[in-house]
Amino acid sequence: MSKSLTNRLRDLVKLLGDLHGLHQELLQAVRGKTDAMRRGEIVRIQQCADIERSLVVRIQEREGLRSQLMELIGNDLGLSARSARVISASQLAKRVDEPYRERITEAAGDLKSTMAQLARENRVAGLIARDVLGHLRGIFESIGASVRRPVGYGADGALVAGADRQIIEAVG
């Protein structure tokens, strides 16, 4: 292997480790948000969502670097730029010598495992959010029904809806 390929592979292993760490932080933020959703802690949900957004931006930046690095590695290995961007870690590992074969396989495996956990946790958060929205929809439909129901006649003889009376009674 050439010196430039060796350096790029070393950088790739480090970058995969960085991505793994960021995904672990994201997983913790999603778990925190899920816990806050279960407890109805609105402020904590917002804090966790802010952390998530920040981490996603950082992950996207690192993914851009990974893509550029993969193109360079692919060029060193005689691959087209397109092929280099889409090659899997296991396919890349087959094309390089030890110790990078093992390091790439291990780093990619760690990242893949964390991403699978993150996908599961995001599904749970999505289910909770869907259930909460269903409850809120029912509440608003109930309020809306009482708003549309006429309760009498106004001074001008027109029907008066119960909105003011119902909402005032609801909020005290």
Instruction: Say if CB 104 and CB 90 are below 8 A apart.
Output: no
CATH code of residue 31: 1.20.58
pLDDT per position as a tens digit, 10-33: 999 999 999 999 999 999 999 999
Report pTM.
0.76
Query: Would you say residue 18 lies in a domain?
Result: yes
Query: Would you say residue 26 lies in a domain?
Result: yes
pLDDT per position as a tens digit, 79-102: 998 898 889 999 999 999 999 999
Which amino acid belongs to residue 20?
A: H
Tell me how far apart the alpha carbons of residues 70 and 9 are, in angstroms, rounded to a whole number. Answer: 9
pLDDT above 90 (res 8): yes
Segments forming the whole domain that contains residue 109? 3-135
Query: Would you say residue 154 lies in a domain?
Result: no
Give yes or no for a cis peptide into 150 (omega within 30° of 0): no
Structure tokens at 69: 């690095």
Q: For the chain, where are the alpha helices, taking DSSP H only?
A: 3-39, 42-76, 81-86, 89-95, 100-148, 163-171
Tell me how far apart the alpha carbons of residues 38 and 30 are, in angstroms, rounded to a whole number. Answer: 12
| Segment 108-128 mean pLDDT | 95
Query: Would you say residue 128 lies in a domain?
Result: yes
Between 163 and 25, residue with greater pLDDT: 25
Which amino acid belongs to residue 3?
A: K
Query: Would you say residue 60 lies in a domain?
Result: yes
Query: Would you say residue 117 lies in a domain?
Result: yes
Tell me how far apart the alpha carbons of residues 81 and 15 are, in angstroms, rounded to a whole number. Answer: 19
Percentage of residues of the chain with pLDDT beyond 70:
86
Number of domains in the chain: 1
Per-residue DSSP letter, 50? H
Which amino acid belongs to residue 171?
A: V
Query: Would you say residue 150 lies in a domain?
Result: no
| Segment 36-64 mean pLDDT | 95
Query: Would you say residue 164 lies in a domain?
Result: no
